[in-house]
Amino acid sequence: MLSIVSTPIGNLGDITKRAIETLSKVDAIICEDTRVAGKLCTQLEIPKKEFISMHSYTSDQKIEIVLRRLKKGENMAVTSDAGTPGISDPGFKLISRARERGIEIEVIPGPSAFLAALSISGLPANQFLYLGFLPVKKGRKRLIKSFAEEKHTIVFYESVHRIEKTLIELSEALSEQPDRKIVIARELTKLHEEVIETTVEGLPTVAKEITNKGEFVVVIEAV
């Protein structure tokens, strides 16, 4: 059995009961950074486990070894450093191959930063467009320009290194919609959680003030 286990995005209290039970009983935990997974297990008082690191660039050979072990009947959990595996995080390749092989898979759902941001944004979230991380180069300009026509609430991830630049680019691309609402969710569920509500017009000011460290989700009102 392969168990897909979501883990907290910052607050340990958000771990689910099923996640603890599953991580405690599996033979091995497939994770991104073994130190992050190790720390989580220590905090949760989960008995010592085998950790298998897996990233988007992990070789097919390594995935094959894991699949064979699962096929033989071992139980493994797949986690990412934070949030839900496969959501802008590794996991997809392993899960799709496990499905092809007829390996039993279960999901232990839990936190995901984009869902938390959507729900706190106050913007309609019945329908939304999730974009993960925006492309850094190819297609970036065209994609941001297309936001001017987007009929769904837009949500995407941004790193501290690029947040200022992205907010400036948004303010330029959407300059004809100065009142359009933008919500920037920073460090959700953590000590310095902050939700900044602004408009396209207010973006340059917000961009200048965002100097702190953190992880960000940007939510943009639909047209």
Closer by beta carbon to ligand SAM, 122 or else 178: 122
Instruction: Report if residue 83 touches ligand SAM, rule: CB under 6 A.
Output: yes
CB of 163 to ligand SAM, least distance (A): 9
Residue closest to ligand SAM when measured from CB atoms: 83
Beta strands in 63-104 (DSSP E): 76-78
Instruction: Report if residue 189 touches ligand SAM, rule: CB under 6 A.
Output: yes
Q: Which amino acid, one-letter code, is at 59? A: S
CB of 140 to ligand SAM, least distance (A): 16
Task: Return d(Cα 20, Cα 41) in angstroms, integer.
Answer: 9
User: Structure tokens of 164?
Assistant: 């200022």
- CA-to-CA separations, 2 to 5, 35, 42, 126, in angstroms, rounded: 9, 21, 22, 31
Instruction: Report if residue 37 touches ligand SAM, rule: CB under 6 A.
Output: no
Closer by beta carbon to ligand SAM, 6 or else 22: 6
User: Structure tokens of 88?
Assistant: 């802008």
| Beta bridge partner(s), residue 218 | 156, 184
CB of 8 to ligand SAM, least distance (A): 9
Closer by beta carbon to ligand SAM, 76 or else 86: 86
CB of 84 to ligand SAM, least distance (A): 4
Binding-residue pattern over the window 105 to 134 for ligand SAM, x denoting contact by CB under 6 A: -------xxx--------------------
Instruction: Report if residue 82 touches ligand SAM, rule: CB under 6 A.
Output: yes
Backbone angles phi, psi at 41, to 5 degrees: -65, -40
Buried b (16+ CB within 10 A) or exposed e, 130-150: bbeebeeeeeeeeebeebeee
Buried b (16+ CB within 10 A) or exposed e, 83-104: bbbbbbbbbeebbebbeeeebe
Instruction: Report if residue 158 touches ligand SAM, rule: CB under 6 A.
Output: yes
Instruction: Report if residue 187 touches ligand SAM, rule: CB under 6 A.
Output: yes
Task: List residues near ligand SAM by CB under 6 A.
Answer: 9-10, 80, 82-84, 87-89, 112-114, 157-159, 185, 187-190, 215-217
